[in-house]
Structure 1
Amino acid sequence: MSTGPVTLKDLADEGRLLWCYCGACCHEVEVPPLSLGLPGNVPVPNVARRLRCSKCGSRKISTRPQLHLEPLEVLRARYRRNGG
């Protein structure tokens, strides 16, 4: 069992996505962890330093392992359907 931070490869091996959030404009996206062109051994928290928001260009990015097992689009659709 690994005791270090979760890496991009760990997420990929588990079939999970990488959640990226912009603190400047609240844009969020989930991406396949190895689609960023970064080495698999990069710890998830360190990925944020290498990203820029695709919506506003800010570097105020946070990265975490995927928060839910369902993609964001599915969760948003369910929320809207339920009156949210």
Structure 2
Amino acid sequence: YFQDHQLESESIPSAITRVEWHLDLSVDMWFPKAILKLPQSLIQRTGNGILQQVVRQVSRRLTHKVQEDFHSSNGLPIPKQSRQQ
């Protein structure tokens, strides 16, 4: 980010931590027959939305857990959470 954007040096933090996840997830969903009568595109969009929400929640929890583990293993206080969501 900082390489792609011109910023004044005092606005750049002294340390930057980045977490990147590669999630290999397989999900099966079974629907009642009544749901299967709906358009396939609607079922697909709904399933994609559910899966997207699951991945978002897992990512947040894993990221927070990694931060907790890092700070506690190094005897550092955990910084307050920013609400950039």
TM-score by length of 1: 0.23
Task: Give the structure with the larger helix fraction.
Answer: 2
Structure number with bigger Rg: 2
TM-score by length of 2: 0.23
